[in-house]
């Protein structure tokens, strides 16, 4: 299961599992958001390498407007994945509870 939507403050909210089966849905959603800068990952349980590719592509597009993505409420497991992939040097990441 994977859900993607806009939150009350305009942030993109991810829930469930962002894997290869859901990447097209996520890319289409992000491409439809004019200025994606905040992604709330509170409900995200899993992200695959394909899901990381979605974030990277969206980051590149966001950087064209001078601001990158800010990933909020990242759980420990996903934070470790992002760190191992070197994404902590690419994204502004706020761990859950920080």
Q: pLDDT tens string for the chain (98 positions)?
A: 999 999 999 999 999 999 999 999 999 999 999 888 999 999 999 999 999 999 999 999 999 888 899 999 999 999 999 999 999 999 999 998 77
pTM over 0.85: yes
CATH code: domain of residue 7: 3.30.750.24
Task: Indicate the number of domains in the chain.
Answer: 1
Domain extent, residue 6, equals 2-95
What pLDDT sits at residue 81?
96
What pLDDT sits at residue 57?
96
CA–CA gap between residue 68 and residue 4 (Å, rounded): 19
Of the candidates 84, 9, 5, 83, the residue with the CA atom closest to the CA atom of residue 44: 5
């Amino acid at each position: 299961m994977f859900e993607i939507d806009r939150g009350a403050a305009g942030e993109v909210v991810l829930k469930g599992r962002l894997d290869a089966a859901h990447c097209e849905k996520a890319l289409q959603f992000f491409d439809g958001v004019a200025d994606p800068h905040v992604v709330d990952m509170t409900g995200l349980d899993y992200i695959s390498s394909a899901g990381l590719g979605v974030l990277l592509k969206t980051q590149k597009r966001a950087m064209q407007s001078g601001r990158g993505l800010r990933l909020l409420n990242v759980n420990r497991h996903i934070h470790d994945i992002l760190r191992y992939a070197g994404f902590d040097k690419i994204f502004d990441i706020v761990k859950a509870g920080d």
